[in-house]
Chain A
Amino acid sequence: MCRLSAITSSEYISPMENILSLETMKEGHDGSGLGLMLKDLGGPFKDLKDFPILSTICSNKGVEDLTAFMRSRGFAEKFSWEPAIKNVPGVERRDHYLVKVYDYPAEYRDKPKSEKEDLLMNTRLAIRKMGEPDGSIFAFSFYPDVLTLKEVGDPLQLGEFFNLDKSDIKSKIVLAQGRQNTNYAIYLYACHPFFIQGYGTMTNGENTAFVPIREFLMGRGNPGYMGYNSDSEVFTHIAHYVNRSLGYPLHYYKDVITPLKEKEIDTRSDAQAIRLLKRSLRPLCIDGPNCVIGFTPDGSVFMVQDAKKLRPGVVGGVPGKYGLMSEVCGLDSAVPQRDKSTDIFPMKYDMVIIAPGAREVTVWNQLHA
């Protein structure tokens, strides 16, 4: 099973904390990839929060193509960062793990946020299209204050490879996924966490309803609903669709992916609305077993799972620092000083939402909402 580790904190933390928690959750020989997604960045990005950050892996040719492309689109480079790679046996080093901060093209600087977000997503998709055929560029995210690192290998070794224990890269929210060992020929675009316009999520468990969900999302008319090299990418896009495209409050994500039964709906004060939602968004029912952990553009972090998830995730911590993990031992590693009796194991009706800044934990119960 994929290992998931998310931490949300009021202070800047190193992603090594997540990697160490992934290590404690390791069972046997599982660990064929690592995905890191950092939000609310510190370190060298601390003062660049309004500018979009492009996270890529490029070959030497890819760097040249990317530079020319971004220039042609009017993006002015403000800052560039690459991890100080330390060669580690078993990890195949690629040419560049390139993170670049840009200023918007002049004509977009005063545009509304949504238009800027569309520009960033379309630019990322264009870069992906350009670099995918020859593998010269992988573009994971292009958005203000979000940084993504991915590579194939054991998560702990990759932490060393990226030199994260000595790096000044820090953030207040970190999603980390250690990939299970079902597939060694991992395509980088199949690595969690996935990102679209401020929404990042990661998942464990296989998605049995993947094909109908993918087909439904691809019919929504959003060019960003593409890729799907992993069946888990749909969870990110559903969150984006429900919360951003339809504009529903975040907890309706739970109603969409794990809809209530007809009789249960009657217990809700918004029964009429969710009954309609259940019908209209029927193909987005995930039919599990999955645990989804993610963040939204405002910095809320959430965990949700369906009734078939036999090994539920756990949320716990102290005010100012909370962990959302697939195993309790990961939480012990990340926040050992917490009161364990307050740990939350979200049941099938629960959605745990932690407010921005790790201030407050809310357990939203679908049945008694």
Chain B
Amino acid sequence: MEGHFESGPAALNLFGIPDAREGKVKYGIGIPGALSFLVHSDFSKPLPGLNDFPEKDRPPIMVPFVSYHLMAGVGGLLIALSLLGLILLWRGTLFTRRWLMWLFVGAVLGPVVCNQAGWVAAEVGRQPFIVYPKQAVEWDGGKAKISTSYEGLRTDVGLSNRRVVTTPQVLASILMFGFIYLLLFVVWVYVLNDKIQHGPDYHPAEPMTTSEGLLDAATANKPAGGDSLTEARNEAQVVEAN
């Protein structure tokens, strides 16, 4: 996800364009060693790079890199936007800024984008495995030696039997789900808009349901013999005994 090709201390990129053929991140701006710090709490500790793994075990690099950074970036923007809103609320000028209100309306899409992008990063990033192999790293000078104790399962063995589940069937199910989600989206927007147009309900408090009224009602039924129910019961027993 960070396009870390050469073994060694790894950077945390703000953005960049990973190039698998040249084996480096182009136009990248990042914090050197920050990824090593996240893993080992040490900026100078080396991490094994993609180049030390066999080519057939490497995931496609572009999609996870871009989608992961999209997720983290949009998430950061949303946090910044919330903080900005908080500061303006504190200063009492939040609701006078129309442009910011529109920005907040658009920001509703942000978490959805994060969700989808993060999902894509996870699913593409785990390729070509459906069950990950168990691997250990041994350092030989600056070079990482990967030893595999469990081979894992590759994605192509996890596929359904193509004799049974055919391409048109899969296409049909994708179309079906696409249609359902499209329909639900339209309905959802319609109902949501309806709710927003309607606004919240105001329930004016009725006299007897206010706390004062309730207290009056409770004390009006006070049992004879004071506030305590035990005393009241004792009195009742005395009455029965008589």
Query: Do A and B associate with each other?
Result: no
